[in-house]
Amino acid sequence: MKNQWRMILALLIALVVVVFALLNTQKVELNFLFGKFSLPLVLILVVSLLLGALIAVLLSTMTIVGLKRELKKKSDHEEQTKKQFEADYQKKVTEVRAEYQRKINDNRTNSLNLK
């Protein structure tokens, strides 16, 4: 059902574009630094719309690429921090175990010396 509504909407938009094109066939003169052009108004509008859409897509793509790069950098930093935390944790656990083992050994030695 969703695809049917999309198809109906696309057909309506196409109909509006065709009617718009038929109503705007008069020639318009464009003046540039290097010359003058006379083109139908609908062609100028469509080309302008496409150029604007292309510029918008390029700018948004650049923004998306930058955000992805930043996300990757932060993800890598988070992974590195996590590994460093894990290494520090393991080192601390080893130190605590060694300390307790020393205390156990000292207690055994003291109890054997007392006997």
pLDDT in tens, 26-46: 998 988 888 898 988 888 888
pLDDT of 115 strictly over 80 = no
CA distances from 72 to 13, 62, 80, 85, 86 (A): 39, 15, 12, 20, 21
The per-residue pLDDT for range 73-90, each reduced to its tens digit, is 999 999 999 999 999 999
DSSP 62-104: HHHHHHHHHHHHHHHHHHHHHHHHHHHHHHHHHHHHHHHHHHH
The helix/strand/coil state of 39 is strand
Interior CA angle at 93 toward 92 and 95, to 5°? 65
Q: For the chain, give the mean pLDDT.
A: 88
pLDDT band at 23 (very low <50, low <70, confident <90, very high): confident
CA distances from 51 to 14, 16, 23, 69 (A): 19, 20, 22, 27
Task: Please tell me the predicted confidence (pLDDT) of residue 114.
Answer: 62
